[in-house]
Amino acid sequence: MTFGTLLATIEDYKLGGISNLKNLSTLLNDTFGDWLASQGISHLMMLGDNTLCLNVRGELKHTTLVNGIKTRSRFLVISLDKVADNPEAITDALKAYTSDGDGAYVWVIPDGYMAALTPAEQEWEEHGGGYFSHESICISNTADRDTCCLLEVLYEDTTLENVSCEFDVPAHRSVHYRLDKLKGENGEPLIAKDAPVSYKITSRDTRVVVQGSRILTSGENSAFASFGTVMAWCPQ
């Protein structure tokens, strides 16, 4: 897929008698929406018979001089006749924008539960002798800038007070946290064991992708273990 294909399709729709700008915009978004998203574009709109607007998921780093293309804060306007012979000029213009990253700003893992360790497991863990029941989250930041994430722990038991913590995720990096290792201000584990919880992760500055995982050990000498991984849910 290329921007040349997009421009050719616009002309094909016009030749097919589709002249209403709203209908034309809808057809183009339905046809190219997934590919446009991969290019950092959230939406396109025909502003006139020969004018196309692309909404960009990113901020303008610097203005660029490309014939037939006007760059603005989070969108660019294209004169189709001026880029018809060089549609990849649109690709060059998009390089003037930062990336807001993949994923979403808010993620929720509804099912959380960390089983308490047996006395034997606690002793083995203190001496580095095992890999026992715990949960983890990993966050990927594919954007061009750093972000700060807020983790909120929502208990089912109303006698327990919800807790939270913040952590940074650098641009084009990932972070992984064992949730049983998180500490509160008093130095104690942040999240209670044997308590059903939900986790909400909010990124302040960029879109991110979140995944949760859980390992459960049981049986004499922790002979049995199960491992599960689940992609978090995003409301966007």
Residues 122 and 226 placed together within one structural domain of the fold: yes
In-domain check, residue 99: no
Give the 3-state secondary structure of 45-60.
EEEECCEEEEEECCCE
Residues 63 and 114 placed together within one structural domain of the fold: no
**Domain-ending residue, one of 66, 94, 122:** 94
Q: Does 97 score more than 90 pLDDT?
A: yes
Note whether 165 and 154 are within 8 A (CB): no
**Domain-ending residue, one of 39, 61, 94:** 94
In-domain check, residue 236: no
Cα torsion 100, 104, 106, 109: sign? negative
Domain that holds residue 50: 3-94
Burial code of 166-176, b = ≥16 C-beta within 10 A, e = fewer? Answer: eeebebeeeee
Distance CA 208, CA 140 (A): 6
| pLDDT tens digits, 132-160 | 677 889 999 999 999 999 999 999 999 99
In-domain check, residue 101: no
| pLDDT tens digits, 168-207 | 999 999 999 988 888 888 888 899 988 999 999 999 999 9
Note whether 175 and 167 are within 8 A (CB): yes
Distance CA 162, CA 132 (A): 24
What mean pLDDT value characterizes the chain? 88
Distance CA 41, CA 35 (A): 9
Question: Which residues face 6 on adjacent strands?
Answer: none
Distance CA 4, CA 119 (A): 66
**Domain-ending residue, one of 94, 120, 151:** 94
